[in-house]
Structure 1
Amino acid sequence: MLALISGAALAVTGLAVPAAAAAPEQSKPSRASVRPVVFIHGSAGSAMQFRTQAKRLAGNGYPIDLVEAHEYDSPNIATIIAAVYADLDARIDRLLAAAGTEQVDLLAHSLGTFVTQGYLNSSPARAARVANYVNLDGRPAAALPGGVRTLAIWGEGDPARAVAGATNVYFPDQSHTQTVSSTESFQEIFRFLQGREPRTTKIVPQAHAQVSGRAVLFPSNAGVGEAAVELYPVSPLTGRRLTNRPVRVQTVKPDGSFGPVPVLPFARYEFALVRTGQATHHFYFEPFVRSDSFVRLVTSRPGEGIGALVDTSDRHTALTFQRQKEWWGAEGDELWVNGTNILNGANAPRAKRVIGVFAFDDGSDGVTDLTAPLPEFFAVTFMTGMDVFIPAAQQRPGTVQILARQRGGGFSAMPVPNWKSSEHRVSIEINDH
């Protein structure tokens, strides 16, 4: 049940949309002129890899409700593949009915290309309902999957990879997940799907935005049950809450879904995932300048998964960072925590393809050691971990100052409260653009 705590709460915080920030969008094509788009993620992935592209599509006329992600339990794909196909059949049925079209467009990344190629090759009837397929840095093929018109985008790696008969495009300076989220990939994808150039590759601001998504367990993408999501506006200077009570509270549905909840563009928010008897999990995102239905609050149960390896105490804060563009620690990417750049060539080398970073006081000894990554985290695909002492709040709340600099330019300032890791978990999503 969605409860509006206070309609005036945002007004008293001083949060407002800058007058020139949310200009009207350019004229949109009719709803019937676009096909539904479904993104199928790769290993340990989710809809998050496609967040940026979904918003770029929306800024170019795609209705937000016709762009979806098909999520599944990637570690167990070999035993659940038939169910994944059946669920995809049902999703396509629903989208075709909603859009009034006869076909959809499918996009897949990494392991998702194995899933999707198998799906298209499994049945002529299935392939006939797909107009276009985009194969993102994944599985080569000796023929067009299911005979469907195909675009294959490849990042760094073997330049001989290809899908025979497809339009093959190569970005040798882009890493594995970057090929999903980059501006260059979007231009190729849009041109392929629509037969014309996009009007814009920017995230076009909206005067009124809504956010929805799912709270899910990593890496299965199973919905988090018996939980609530609390929404708080936070200070852009300190990351601390601007209201004592949440401005929205919503019970998570059995599949993990929540929302939509209204947000102010250019304001910052905290999503607090609250479960009885468990540490509160705080999620921080950069401002939602337009509606976003691909938000994922990725968590785990107590004592399970990679989160169980994080040392906790009353004295230190533990942080998890995610960005849908790999961190290259020795090649231009920087992640500053309280004045220290915690990335380097040892803990985030280019070859590791890091998109998830765990930073906490290993051993709870009050000492930072960045000479080598934490091996149990570094052993996990796309992950790394580092021993960083981040003092937690004691007598009064404080702030962890965070600054991320992207290779090629651009930075993000993301201060968050210094929550005690004994009682709180903190995840921070850095934009990939």
Structure 2
Amino acid sequence: MLIARRKLFALLTGVVLGAAGLSAPAAAHPVNPLRPVVFVHGSAGSAMQFRTQAKRLAGNGYPARIIEAHEYDSPNIATILPQVYAGLDARIDRLLAETGADRVDLLAHSLGTFVMQGYLNSSPARAAKVAHYVNLDGRPAAAQPGGVPTLAIWGEGDPARTVAGATNVSFPDQSHTQTVSSVETFREFYRFFTGRSPRTTALIPDRHPQVSGRAVLFPSNAGVEGATVEVYPLDPRNGHRLTRRPVAVRPVAADGAFAPIPVDPRARYEFALVRAGQAVHHFYFEPFRRTDTFLRLLTSRPGEGIGALVQTSDKHTALTFQRQKEWWGAEGDSLVVNGTNILNGATAPRAKRVIGVFAFDAGLDRTSQLAEPLPEFFAITFMTGIDHYIPARGTTSIVVRSRGGGITYLPIPAWKSSDHRVSLEIDDY
């Protein structure tokens, strides 16, 4: 009898709603399903700028497989723009086919906003495949590109910059690259994409994280040919290898990609990029707390690129530091190598927007000159160079103190720069 009454009530409800020109409520479904996310970097950039944000997205329910970066040869963008657009077309179509999503969400930074504004304005069909666009500290615009709903985030600089018709948000205390990686930016674009605030902005550790990415030539983002990635766990006391043999070996594909590698979220690792007849390039990172698909091993061919400016010898170590949050040498950031802070208002001024630091014994005289930066490095966008003698013996002690709090200890072996290249990626949070 109770079941019959319920059926009668449902029937009468349908009749009443129909007579009123209404319909019965549809089954519950997400108003804003999680769409694929694509990040487009700026000048001399790569997926590295979005590493932290990708992990924050994953910590809020986004599958890592639907978060991607579209990389390109930024110094040659004027001549390759049609190919970049075609690559974006293929990437977006593939993501939509794989996920069944109606559209994708896009973010672009700096030069990437030039690329994306042109892309979205180039074709209504292209714009129709994009649900939201985030313009990160890049080009102003007189209208939302392609009519796509736009969030424009601005860092320090001209406060008059806007994208007309967009939601414009300013963070005047953040530098150019920091506007990509900051917690504040994450909150804004997450709400813009989903209509709700994130559950968390912390990088909550995975139980069984994996790391994958690409080995690429800087700044073209072309894949490194004929290379192998070897992975070694490190002794936390001195950064030296705990095993003689690598715990993982991955061949590098033609596009630079290497397959996922399982890691312990509490441990530190060395990623050694090995190429026949070339110096081994050692990469050091802080612990991988979450699965990371945006790892980039940035290198160059012998005698090419910025690396060719580094003087080498059997007597000293040469180091390259990178952080996707600018180094402000006189405003709370310090980079202490063997007890000496190599950053100051001259070597890393706030206005220079330094994210890459080269430190080595310039002149091979076994002395350090920290008062001024090395001019050939300082002339390169986002880079600085520092004459600091780091003996090639034992362990090199590295301590990073970041503005806003946080201290990182990263001891590593003191490799001879004549046979070894060394890069360290410092977390941006």
Q: TM-score, normalised by structure 2?
A: 0.92
Q: Of residues 407, 413, 420 in structure 1, which corresponds to 2:409?
A: 413
In structure 2, C-alpha distance between the alignment counterparts of 1:107 and 1:158, rounded to whole Å: 21
The corresponding residue for 2:274 is: 274
The corresponding residue for 2:189 is: 189
Please give the residue correspondences for 1:199-218 in structure 2 after superposition, counting only pairs within 5 Å.
199-218=199-218
In structure 2, C-alpha distance between the alignment counterparts of 1:363 and 1:258, rounded to whole Å: 37
Please give the residue correspondences for 1:54-93 in structure 2 after superposition, counting only pairs within 5 Å.
54-93=54-93
Q: Of residues 417, 429, 432 in structure 1, which corresponds to 2:428?
A: 432
- Residue deviations 1:373-398, cap 9 Å, x none? 000000000000000000002xxxx1
The corresponding residue for 2:124 is: 124
Please give the residue correspondences for 1:337-352 in structure 2 after superposition, counting only pairs within 5 Å.
337-352=337-352
In structure 2, C-alpha distance between the alignment counterparts of 1:144 and 1:249, rounded to whole Å: 46
In structure 2, C-alpha distance between the alignment counterparts of 1:344 and 1:215, rounded to whole Å: 31
1:425 counterpart letter in structure 2: R
Q: Is the 8 A contact 2:327 2:355 kept in 1?
A: yes
State the Cα distance separating 1:250 from its structure 2 match. Answer: 1.0
1:369 counterpart letter in structure 2: Q
In structure 1, C-alpha distance between the alignment counterparts of 2:74 and 2:308, rounded to whole Å: 20
Q: Of residues 396, 399, 407 in structure 1, which corresponds to 2:395?
A: 399
Q: Is the 8 A contact 2:72 2:84 kept in 1?
A: yes
State the Cα distance separating 1:236 from its structure 2 match. Answer: 1.5
The corresponding residue for 2:16 is: none
State the Cα distance separating 1:237 from its structure 2 match. Answer: 1.6
The corresponding residue for 2:19 is: none
Please give the residue correspondences for 1:242-391 in structure 2 after superposition, counting only pairs within 5 Å.
242-391=242-391
| SS of aligned partner of 1:307 | helix
In structure 1, C-alpha distance between the alignment counterparts of 2:51 and 2:266, rounded to whole Å: 17
In structure 2, C-alpha distance between the alignment counterparts of 1:409 and 1:261, rounded to whole Å: 31
Q: Is the 8 A contact 2:156 2:172 kept in 1?
A: yes
| SS of aligned partner of 1:94 | helix
State the Cα distance separating 1:33 from its structure 2 match. Answer: 2.4
Unaligned runs of 5+ in 1: 1-28
1:300 counterpart letter in structure 2: S
After TM superposition, where is structure 1 displaced by more than 6 Å over at least 4 residues in a row? none
State the Cα distance separating 1:411 from its structure 2 match. Answer: 1.3
In structure 2, C-alpha distance between the alignment counterparts of 1:97 and 1:341, rounded to whole Å: 51
In structure 1, C-alpha distance between the alignment counterparts of 2:223 and 2:174, rounded to whole Å: 32
State the Cα distance separating 1:192 from its structure 2 match. Answer: 0.6
The corresponding residue for 2:155 is: 155
RMSD: 0.9
State the Cα distance separating 1:429 from its structure 2 match. Answer: 0.3
- Residue deviations 1:346-389, cap 9 Å, x none? 01000000000000000111001101100000000000000000
In structure 2, C-alpha distance between the alignment counterparts of 1:359 and 1:410, rounded to whole Å: 22
Higher relative contact order (CA 8 A, sep 6+): 1
Q: Looking at CA atoms only, which structure, 1 or 2, has the larger radius of gyration? A: 2
1:261 counterpart letter in structure 2: I
In structure 2, C-alpha distance between the alignment counterparts of 1:140 and 1:413, rounded to whole Å: 40
1:384 counterpart letter in structure 2: T
In structure 1, C-alpha distance between the alignment counterparts of 2:136 and 2:244, rounded to whole Å: 44
Q: Is the 8 A contact 2:33 2:194 kept in 1?
A: no
In structure 1, C-alpha distance between the alignment counterparts of 2:272 and 2:223, rounded to whole Å: 16
State the Cα distance separating 1:51 from its structure 2 match. Answer: 0.3
Unaligned runs of 5+ in 2: 1-28
- Residue deviations 1:19-75, cap 9 Å, x none? xxxxxxxxxx99x92000000000000000000000000000000000000000000
1:90 counterpart letter in structure 2: A
1:195 counterpart letter in structure 2: G
- Residue deviations 1:252-289, cap 9 Å, x none? 00000002010011110000000000000000000001
The corresponding residue for 1:423 is: 419
In structure 2, C-alpha distance between the alignment counterparts of 1:67 and 1:325, rounded to whole Å: 21
Q: TM-score, normalised by structure 1?
A: 0.92
